[in-house]
Amino acid sequence: MPELPEVETTMRGLKKEVLSKTFIGVWTDFPKIIKKPKNFEKFKKEIKGKKIKKIWRRGKNILFELSNKKTLLVHQKLTGHLLVGKWQKAGNIWQAPSGPLSEKINSFLHLIFTLDNGQMLALSDVRKFAKVELLDNQELKKEINSLGPEPLEKSFTFEKFKKALQKKKGRIKPVLMDQTIIAGIGNIYSDEILFASQVHPQKSTLDLKENEVKRIYQNIKKILKKAIWLKGESISDYRIPSGKKGGFDKERKVYRREGKKCSRCKTIIERVKIGGRNAHYCPRCQKLC
């Protein structure tokens, strides 16, 4: 699932490519991907002729502020990613030019916006879990106000983080992934943050020592910033808007590395289920007790 670094990377790429452009058409083969309004023809009518005035990110959501004072929200969910390019339709298939956009994972196109500069903004999503909504100001506030603080903002201080952990009882990995506590962290980066902090993913927030909380806080900022700089993790479906892979994979220490040696102590990395989600960790570097 695209997490904060992937969504931030996508948002920055889209700002360069489609900001100030106008939607002149919309195509889909899966109208259910549009959650608001549920009628695709109504969505198409409201989008057509609207200019993109601003593009920003909140949590894992990409937000396009439009000239009609509405906001287009795209949550890429598990396997979705936004692409910019030009496609030609041959029968029922959209064909990409040779290059990164022609990679198989970029070919599951279910929503395409045509822009006034001849470019297209497309959503590729093999499992069709992505969410697209057109919201007015009140609906947008409701959507984003439920999210926790942005971990890379200056206002996200150590004291605020510590208080948030004190209020939320539970094991540290799912707490880090709770979007009402911190916005944007998911399965990949919670694993990497906890490994770097030498904290077991099953450790209770109530049992964390002050120095452990400090390390987690510092590594949230450090690892997310590095992942953005490397344009995200493409171990699975995620690609940047050009269709290329992100470069964080060379930094991955524990996520999906069960059975391999820890880069720090050479102990075999293990995997455990926590609340229905996989957690990867080193049993020696990240002791539970």
- If one counts every other C-beta atom within 10 angstroms of the C-beta of residue 169, the result is 10
What is the DSSP code (8-state) at residue 170?
A: S
Radius of gyration for the alpha carbons in the chain, expressed in angstroms and rounded = 20
CA dist 4 and 228 (Å) reads 8
Q: How many residues does the chain have?
A: 289
In this structure, are residues 257 and 269 in contact, taking their beta carbons and an 8 Å threshold? Answer: yes
Question: Is the torsion defined by CA of 213, 215, 220, 221 positive or negative?
Answer: positive
CA dist 251 and 226 (Å) reads 9
Which amino acid appears at position 199 of this protein? Answer: V
Helices (H) and strands (E) in the chain, counts: 7, 13
- If one counts every other C-beta atom within 10 angstroms of the C-beta of residue 262, the result is 20
CA dist 131 and 136 (Å) reads 16
Q: What does each C-alpha distance from 169 to 42, 178, 183, 206, 273 come to in angstroms?
A: 44, 12, 18, 7, 18
Catalytic residues: 2-3, 60, 277
CA dist 217 and 158 (Å) reads 7
